[in-house]
Amino acid sequence: MTFKTLIAAGLAALLSTTAIAPVLAQPINENPLSDPRVRKAIAYALDMETIVETIFEGQAVRAVGMLPDGPNKPTDLIRYDYDPDKARALLAEAGWDSSRVLDVVYYYTDQATADLMAAMQAYLADVGISMNYRLVEGDVASQISVVPDDPVNGPSKVTWDMLYGARAALALQEYFNRYAYGLKPMIPNIPRMNELVAKVNGTTDPEVQREGYFEMEHIINENVYQIPLYYQQLYTYESDRLDRNGAPYGNEQYNYNWGVENWTIAPDASGKAVMYTNAGPSQFFEVPWQNLGIWVANKFAFDTILEADGALTPIGGEMAESYSVSEDGLTFTFTLKDGLTWHDGSPITADDVIWSIGAATKFPVTQPVLQATMKKIEGADAFIKGEAETLSGVSAEGNTITIKFARLDPNVLLSFSQFAPLPSKQFEGVDPVTLQQAAFWQKPIGSGPFKIDEVVMNDYTTLVPFEGYHKGTPKIEQIIARPSSDNDGNLLVNAQAGRADFGYTKAAGDVPGLEALAYMNVYPVDIPYTRMLWINQFPHPTR
Amino acid sequence: MSINQTPTDQTRIHTPAPRRRTRLDAQFDRIRAREEAGLARSGSGSRAVRKFLNNRLAVFGLVVFSIILLASILAPILTPYDPNRINLRAILQPPSWEHWFGTDRTGRDLFARVLYGGRISILVGLGSALLAAIIGVLIGVYSGYVGGWLDALAMRVSEIVMAFPQIILVLLLVSILGQSLVNLMLIFTLTGWAGIYRMARARMLSIREEEYVLALRSFGLSRPLIAYKHMLPNALGPIMVNITLSTAAFILQEAGLSFLGLGVPLSIPTWGNILNVAQDIRVLQTAWWIWLPVGAVISLFVLSVNFIGDGLRDATDPSQQG
Amino acid sequence: MLTYIIRRILILIPMAFAICFLVYLGLELTPGDAVSHMINPDSAGSMDPAQLEALRQSLGLGQPFHVRFWAWFTNLMQGNFGYSMSGGVPIASIIATRLPATLELAAVALVFSTLVGSLLGVLSALKRGSKTDSALTVVGMLGVSIPEFFFGLVAIWVFALNLGWFPVGGRSMPGYVTFWDRLPHLVMPAMVLSIMLTAGVMRYARSSMLDALSRDFIKTARSKGLPEWRVNLLHGFRVALTPVVVLIGFRLPVLIGGSVIIEQVFQWPGIGNEFISAVRSQDYPVVMTIALLSVMAVLLASLIVDVLTAVIDPRVRLGD
């Protein structure tokens, strides 16, 4: 390499950074964390490679950039590899006041998080930054996500300096949507990001979206507005009794073409083909619109309108026989298959679907991507406010339902591949706002391959095949789901006792234990889930 | 409650019949003179100490207690490790010459964590017990002697506090006040004062009618002065017993709450926080050195405090024999 | 006697009301409510605050404090515990499904600890001053000094994880019908819960047996030439056992407190387990009801004990 090319490369690098976003190496307000040098120092101070390898036992991927690896992420991001000397130099340059103690908060209660906090404390101490960490409890949402009255100058309403949290995305827009004006509790407004958020949400063209993602990634990466730490994988585990018969693997937290009706399992001693799993209910079944596929019992019991593959790309209809989107992307039409019934035998009608779309629009904790889609339907505002009895944009003719959107939504097909209609007759007199409080959720009536049979809250739930399921009666004779959260503390124990045939975990700590069992197979699945540090760059009162 | 009022407290009054003086009587007079001059207290004190020291379990308790307490205080001398210093290249190491209790999931030295953790755990236990005792005694002694609306109010409040199973009340208060070291001590104090208040009050009620109190009152001494200066010392024995026993109880509760993740924030090492990881079944199964030694230390410490409390009770309370 | 009981009950009523009020007030002061717990923190910022506010209103969370308290309290008086906020389940049905598990655990622990505790206590008293006596004293002390969850951990480690004799936790599985099916799940939590109780009963049985042995009628029986074992068995035991039975009433707070932690360690689906998760999710009505029920249970138990003591032993004066 000649001297000339070096200079050229250097210049090019310099030009490219300045062209995208000039990095002002100074604080923008009295909070020293508004100084990009301090934030960079923090990024350099954390040895994420080692942390991933030890605390997470190699069951995570060190993050460079917000988005997981894939075509939508630029490959030339700054890596911020562990470099404590550089961190110290940056802090010295920024005039870091070493008497300041950073207040770091987190809300996960698992052991690995506590370990990570201890490690962060030690790494930061090593470069001269003191920090304390604490678990936020009670009203977590208001402690981490309330936005300041003045999104440019602050002060922030959240009181912490750094938050350890995550972005879990169904659609990639979710990674960046909060960079829109006035939605960030901790980062002063960045005008260019506002435009880019609008850009990726206002098109269905993947090329245009990609341009937007690239530019946003660069802006965040160069200014260290937040520090992505690692990409979480998801691990599907299966005992060797279970045979998927070729069905694909995918992001188990959502609905995809897992072909559960074709799965088979070796019969137990009594000759019955029983499959054990977890994530059963302890008090009630959750409405399937809130956490789309986390509760596996809901996934067994409810079908969705469309079907997605393992990477959550819509690939066809599930309850829908056929579907189409108009040229301008503002009209979505689908026709239900003939002869669909609920588990109680009553027919699934267009009215059920229309009621469900309306209820999901009003239900306050509908999954954000799904809700964003629903809220763009014509007449949604008036419907939510109670000014209109029905959603004017939704209509039906026989089994064909037409939905008209007031604004373009990039995720219509995705949303409907995750949307499970409910039997409207069961909800007469129920306000969709308090849908979760309905008695229905003690033992739901679904539409999926398995119907809920016996429910002993907090002990177990059993499911049995739904005779006459439209894709064929399932072959597994009984499913037994133990109650647990999606982070099942008793997973290993039950796996050892042979009471875990299928499920998934995001707790990296479980994986070595599961893999150690001869009869257990573990499949890592890449999912869009990034754990990161949010840095409060507004002026704010310290604790 | 009434279960404590067993009828064994009856005292018989002997009225000596007039008879001829002997050498023994002269001796007795000298003793009485000493007693009246106020010199006898040290004598009775040393009798209690002797009695305490004759109780082998109590002495064992005192020794263990002192060892663990001193080890915690002298932690920087006893171990070169910083309890928060991680070493990700040396995680989950079993006990060795280098790390006596092994290392945890982030490579922190567990021996150092147990020593430093002891400081906080003992502080929480002893500190809360003392605070609770101070509040309970202040109110109990005064209201027991003086009575009045304060007595009535304190009595009602203490009834309410004591109606709760302790852990339920503590959990309620934790969820209300939030998690921090100071809050935890505050909560223990709030839930712990009632017992010692009732005890101090009951003692005062019984001492109130004794002659020396009546005499002091006739001298015109102010009521608080009589209560705190002259009556309180006569109730010190049971108060000390109560403080030791509540120390033991609070240390157990801190450990239990921290184990549930509802106690002291995890960034501060305490015995309970070290044990917190044992909720992870894999740690429980494969890394016994993380939770077994610290559990043993908690148990040993609480045991020693209980032995001390028992010994104190035997030494200071003449009605409790055997 | 009857007036005494009535008087005691009359005192209980304002106290219960005060406790209801204080607990409700306390929960009012906690940040957050049931709605904020329905939100997954990972997507907290993406929810529409206006719609969440609508949910709050629908659940009656927007009304002033005294209105909600009074509504709750009057419902309670009519025997309606209200509904869990997170899932809308009637609290009475939560209690009804959880209580049997807790009672099962408590009953086994009580029976076991009473039998073993009084047996060991009496033995200790009979062999007063012997090696057995001091060994038992130390064992009893260990029982109250070792944290019960630590006992639980050791039990799980040894008997479930290493020996595989018992399941790690839970109570029942599909296909379980009788108590005997559940027994393997019950053994460890019940035994661990018994330990602290046993130590208390043992201590008490020992001192009341000693008390009984020094009474005159025992001396009389002995002087009559009755064999020693018959003296001990017939008279001493019977007399010593009465206070032990009374003591059981006082063990109730210990039992409730213990089961909260033990149920958590062993994932036993009882009231204590429900209480912790309700505290964590700030489901006020559930927290309130369970706290209140436990207080009522304790107050009633102490009332019963007081009455029993008065019946058994007239020397105990009533009242203050």
Structure tokens at A534: 């949010």
Please report the pLDDT score of residue A68 as a whole number.
87
Domain holding B158: CATH number? Answer: 1.10.3720.10
Of the spans A18-32, A448-462, C58-72, which averages the highest pLDDT? Answer: A448-462
Does residue B17 belong to any structural domain of this protein?
A: no
- Interface check C153 vs B, CB under 8 A: yes
On the question of a cis peptide bond just before residue A155, with omega within 30 degrees of 0, the verdict is: yes
Measured CA distances, C290 to C79, C94, C261, C273, C275 (Å): 14, 10, 15, 11, 7
Residue A294's pLDDT band (cuts 50, 70, 90): confident
- CB neighbour burial string for C37-74, b if at least 16 within 10 angstroms, e if fewer: bbbbbbbbbbbbeebbebbbebbeeeeeeeebbeebee
**A181 and C CB contact within 8 Å:** no
Contact flag C38-A436 (C-beta cutoff 8 Å): yes
Per-residue pLDDT for C194 more than 80? yes
Which of 243-282 (B) contact A at CB < 8 A?
A: 261, 265-267, 276-277, 279-282
Residue B113, in any domain of the structure: yes
Most B CBs within 10 Å: which of A82, A109, A115, as the mutation test of the B interface?
Answer: A115
Mean pLDDT of C45-63: 78
Cα A127 from Cα A136, distance rounded (Å): 26
Average pLDDT, integer, range A397-415: 95
pLDDT for C317 equals: 41
- Whether the CB of C168 is below 8 Å from some CB of chain A: the reply is yes
Terminal alpha carbon distance of chain C: 15
Distance from CA of A512 to the nearest CA of B (A): 10
Tell me what the mean pLDDT of segment C117-123 comes to. Answer: 86
Q: Does B132 fall in a domain? A: yes
Q: In whole angstroms, what separates CA C142 from the centre of its chain? A: 21
Q: Do B1 and C306 touch (CB under 8 A)?
A: yes
- How far apart are alpha carbons B141 and B147 in whole angstroms? 10
Q: Residue B161's closest chain C neighbor by CA? A: C19
Contacts of A47 in chain B (CB under 8 A): 88
Mean residue pLDDT across chain C: 79
A3-50: per-residue pLDDT in tens? 555 555 554 544 444 444 445 578 888 999 999 999 999 999 999 999
pLDDT value, residue C298: 84
Provide the shortest C-alpha distance from residue A66 to chain C (in Å): 15
Residue A403 or B240, more confident: A403
Q: What is the pLDDT of residue C253?
A: 76
Q: Where are the domains of chain A?
A: 32-233+529-535, 241-518
* % of chain C exceeding 70 in pLDDT: 83
Q: What is the pLDDT of residue C78?
A: 80
Chain B residues with CB-CB distance to A278 below 8 A: none
pLDDT at C233 over 80: no
Angle at the Cα of A456 from the Cα atoms of A454 and A460, rounded to 5 degrees: 85
Cβ separation A121–B279 shorter than 8 A: no
Q: Region A358-367: what's the mean pLDDT?
A: 93
pTM for this structure?
0.82
In this prediction, residue B4 carries a pLDDT of 40
How many beta carbons lie within 10 A of that of residue A482, not counting itself?
24
Number of A/B CB contacts below 8 angstroms equals 71
Considering A134-138, B267-271, C295-299, the range whose residues carry the highest mean pLDDT is: B267-271
The tens digit of pLDDT for each residue in A150-177 reads 999 989 999 999 999 998 888 999 999 9
Domain at A241-518, CATH homologous superfamily? Periplasmic binding protein-like II (3.40.190.10)
Q: Is C107 on the interface with A (CB under 8 A)?
A: no
**Residue A261 near residue A473 (C-beta atoms within 8 A):** yes
DSSP A346: P
**Domain-embedded: residue B92:** no
Q: What is the pLDDT of residue A414?
A: 95
The shortest C-alpha distance from C45 to chain A (Å) reads 5
Contact C35, C59 (CB under 8 A): yes
Contact C168 A490 (CB under 8 A): yes
Residue ranges of domains in chain C, CATH in brackets: 99-285 (1.10.3720.10)
B266 within domain boundaries:
yes
The interface residues of chain B toward chain A in range 178-207, judged by CB-CB distance below 8 A, are 178-179
CB contact under 8 A, A364 and C51: yes
CA distance C103 to chain B (A): 16
What is the spatial distance between Cα C196 and Cα C147, in angstroms, rounded to a whole number? 9
List Cβ<8 Å contacts ≥24 apart for A109-114: A109/A135, A109/B261, A110/A487, A110/A507, A110/A509, A111/A509, A111/B105, A111/B277, A111/B279, A111/B280, A111/B283, A112/A55, A112/A56, A112/A507, A112/A508, A112/A509, A113/A164, A114/B266, A114/B276, A114/B277
DSSP letter string, A48-96: HHHHHHHTTTT-EEE-SSSSPSSTTS-S--------HHHHHHHHHHHT-
Write down the number of H helices and E strands in chain C: 12, 0
Q: What contacts A106, CB < 8 A, 6 or more positions away?
A: A113, A117, A133, A134, A135, A136, A163, A164, A165
The pLDDT, as a whole number, for residue B49 is 81
Range of the domain at B280: 47-83+106-316
Torsion angles phi and psi, residue A159, rounded to 5: -105, -10
Residue B205, classed as helix, strand or coil, is helix
Cβ within 8 Å of B, C 186-215: 207, 210-211
Q: Which of B52, C259, C284, C87 is closest to A444 using CA atoms?
A: C87
Opening angle at CA A283, ends A282 and A289, nearest 5: 95
Is the four-CA dihedral B110, B115, B121, B124 of positive or negative sign? negative
Among A424, A414, A221, A385, CA closest to A311: A414
pLDDT at C137: 87
| DSSP conformation letters of C18-40 | HHHHHHHHHHHHSS--TTGGGS-
pLDDT at A499: 86
B-C contacts at Cβ under 8 angstroms: 146
pLDDT for C274: 87
Please check whether residue C49 touches A, CB under 8 A. no
Of the ranges A203-217, C259-273, C289-303, which is most confident?
A: A203-217
Q: What proportion of chain A, given as a percentage, has pLDDT over 90? A: 69
Query: Mapping DSSP to helix (H, G, I), strand (E, B) and coil, where does residue A297 land?
Result: helix
Interface check A25 vs B, CB under 8 A: no
pLDDT number for residue B147:
79
pLDDT digits (tens, 9 = 90+) for A44-99: 999 999 999 998 888 889 999 999 888 899 999 999 999 999 999 999 999 999 99
Please judge whether C276 and B260 are an interchain contact, meaning their C-beta atoms are less than 8 angstroms apart. Answer: yes
Segment A491-505 mean pLDDT: 87
Which secondary structure element, helix H or strand E, spans residue B236, and what is its range? helix B236-260
- What pLDDT score was predicted for residue C184? 87
Mean pLDDT of A358-376: 93
Please name the helix (run of DSSP H) or strand (run of DSSP E) that holds residue A242, with its range, or none: strand A242-243
Distance CA C227, CA A496 (A): 57
Give the residue, A508 or A463, on which the prediction is more confident. A463
Chain A CB contacts of B83 below 8 Å: none
Which residue ranges in chain B fall short of pLDDT 70?
Answer: 1-21, 31-32, 34-45, 317-322
State the total domains in chain B: 1
Spatial contact of B115 and B65, defined as CB atoms under 8 Å apart: no
Neighboring chain B residues of C145 at a CB cutoff of 8 Å: 248, 252, 299, 302-303, 305-306
- What is the distance between the alpha carbons of residues A216 and A78, in angstroms, rounded to a whole number? 14
What is the DSSP track for A415-472? HHHS-----GGGGTT--GGGGGGSGGGGS----SSEEEEEEETTTEEEEEE-TT-TT-
C83 touches chain A (CB under 8 A): yes
Closest Cα to residue A46, out of A216, A162, A175? A162
B173 within a domain of the structure (yes/no): yes
Can you state the percent helix, strand and coil of chain A, rounding each to 5? 30, 20, 45
Cβ-defined contact of B105 to A115 (cutoff 8 Å): yes
C56: confidence class by pLDDT, cuts 50, 70, 90: confident
Chain B positions touching A114 (Cβ under 8 A) are: 266, 276-277
Average pLDDT, chain A: 90
CATH of domain A32-233+529-535: 3.10.105.10
DSSP conformation class of A153: T
Look up the ipTM and state it.
Answer: 0.83
Contacts of C294 in chain B (CB under 8 A): 164-165, 168
Residue B141: the pLDDT is 85
